[in-house]
Each structure stands twice: as structure tokens, then as C-alpha cells.
Amino acid sequence: MPELPEVETVCRGLLPILENAILQDVVVRQRNLRFPVPKNFRQKLLFRRVLTVRRRAKYILMMLDDDDVIISHLGMSGRMTIYPAGEDVPPPGRHDHIEFKTTTGNLIRFSDPRRFGFMTLTSTQCLKEHKLLRNLGPEPLGNGFSGPILAASLKGRNTPIKSALLDQRTLAGLGNIYVCESLFGAGISPKRKAATVQGTRAEKLVQAIRVVLTEALVAGGSSLHDYVQPDGKLGYFQNCFKVYGQEGKACPGCHCNFLVTGGIKRISQAGRSTFYCSRKQR
């Protein structure tokens, strides 16, 4: 599933195309996505101006001039593809579900083979309290995230720190890949009880999360499975993974004999694969 860096990269790709653009046409070919597309979706959006595009957690928010907001999620395999004006547009395929065409001729196509993604509508006034957004934790790259704030949210929680970080109520936008990478960067075992990540540990974890996400954004996200950027380019942060998917290999800077120690280990936590170094992460 696309995580914060991938969704942020999509938003940054859509922004110069959609900001202040007027929607000349909206085509809905498939309404049965993760949540049904609202029946009045096309009628509500025709000739509306998109004021801006921004991200909250793993959601794409398109703010409109009538105070409506499109909330979009890429699901497991969704993607947004931009076709600039004048460029040949391939005929829609069976997985191409929604299209936006602007008055300047640009076209944005939402595709999703698994149909776990969705698009829905709300208003600016209701956005913060929308059921999808109201319980989200702080943004990890925002000013509202710090060591003390993270420590407070983890206090008294006996769940493993890996599971706590995947909980979107703790922190918005992180998924399996970036949690594994961040825990490695902070030297914290994914099996450690969340409640014990306090003080210096919490500060180190916050810094590691910021570093990992910033590097991933520079790389355009991680292109695993279905993810590509809106212009069709692949992100390349997967080439920088230190532990994720590296089972049996030596972790960066490791001086032990990984042929003896077994190197990076993979365990299952809550049905997800966790990758970590048992020597460096405590």
C-alpha cells in the first residue's frame, strides 16, 4: 500500500496540474470501489475550480471553490496518471475507473486493479471531523510531532512499538516499510513494548522517522508492486532500504559475520513482515 512518501509524491505531481484548474468533465466508469462513489459525484464537480491539492496521512485531498473536498485514497494498487494537454491518451482499460479533464485539456486518470481505493466527497467544514480523518494522529513531518508528543501517546501501551507506529491514531501516514526503516535508524527493536519508548528513545525515533521520510520523498517514494508517480516515473527509495526486504543480508555498517548470525531477520507481527537487526536494535 502506498505510504506517506508515495501519497505526498502523488499530491506534488497533481498540484501543478490541478491547482486553479476548472473541471470540464468528470467520468465515472466504476462506482463500486472500496466505498461506492457518490451518485452525484460528477454533477457536483462539473465546472468547479480546484483550489489546491494536499495530503493528510495517506489521503489525497482536493479542495474545491464551493467548499467541497474530494477525499481520495489509493488503496493497495491505485494510481493517478497525468496526461498533459495535447498528449495521446490511451483508451481506458478495465481498471481505469475515474477521470478528471480540465478546461486546459489536461487529463488525470485514476486506476485501481484491486478496487481498494476510493473517492468520496465532504465539505471543508466537516473535513476535520470526517470519520476517515478525525482520529488520525499527528503528521510525522509536521511541527505537531516531537519526542514528548510521541512518548505521551505511547505511555502505558503494552503493544509492540512496531504495531503502535502502524496505528494511524499514533502517527499519520506511516506503513510497514517506513516503520521498519525508522526503527532500524533509531536502533529500537520492533518487539520492544511501546510504553518503554520514552525520553531519549522517543527523541531518537522521531528523528529517525523524519530522516527516513525525507529521504524517501527525495527519491520519489518506493516503487514496489503497483506504485508509480503521476508522470509514470518510478520512485527509487527501495534501492535505499537498509532492512526492509533484506532478510539474511548484513545490515549497513555491520561488522559481525552475517553468515554466522543470520544477518537481518524477518518475523511476522500482526500478519505483517517485520525486518530488523537483532544486534543493533534493542
Catalytic positions, please? Answer: 2-3, 58, 272
What pLDDT does 19 receive?
A: 97
Q: For residue 125, what is the DSSP state?
A: T
- Mean pLDDT of the 221-249 span: 66
- Mean pLDDT of the 69-74 span: 97
62 confidence band (pLDDT: 50, 70, 90): very high
What pLDDT does 255 receive?
A: 73
Which domains does the chain carry? 4-123 (3.20.190.10), 147-276 (1.10.8.50)
Q: How do residues 111-139 score in pLDDT, each as one tens digit?
A: 999 999 999 999 999 999 999 999 999 99
Pick 218 or 110 by higher pLDDT: 110
Q: Which residues contact 10 (CB under 8 A, 6 or more apart)?
A: 2, 60, 74, 79, 80, 229, 230
| CA pair distance 121, 48, nearest whole angstrom | 13
| CA pair distance 278, 282, nearest whole angstrom | 7
Whether the CB-CB separation of 70 and 100 falls below 8 Å is answered with: no
11 confidence band (pLDDT: 50, 70, 90): very high
The pTM of this model reads 0.92
229 confidence band (pLDDT: 50, 70, 90): low
Q: How do residues 80-108 score in pLDDT, each as one tens digit?
A: 999 999 999 999 999 999 999 999 999 99
Write out 186-218 in H/E/C secondary structure. HCCCCCCEHHHCCHHHHHHHHHHHHHHHHHHHH
Q: For residue 74, what is the DSSP state?
A: -
| CA pair distance 242, 244, nearest whole angstrom | 6
| CA pair distance 7, 55, nearest whole angstrom | 7
| CA pair distance 276, 191, nearest whole angstrom | 10
State how far the alpha carbon of 185 is from the alpha carbons of 75, 137, 223, in Å. Answer: 27, 21, 21
User: Which of 75, 47, 48 minimizes the C-alpha distance to 62?
Assistant: 48
Cell of 189: 527493536
What pLDDT does 223 receive?
A: 47
Helix 176-186, helix 199-218: angle, nearest 10: 130
Share of the chain above pLDDT 70, in %: 93
* Distance of alpha carbon 122 from the chain centroid: 21
Whether the CB-CB separation of 138 and 167 falls below 8 Å is answered with: no
Share of the chain above pLDDT 90, in %: 78
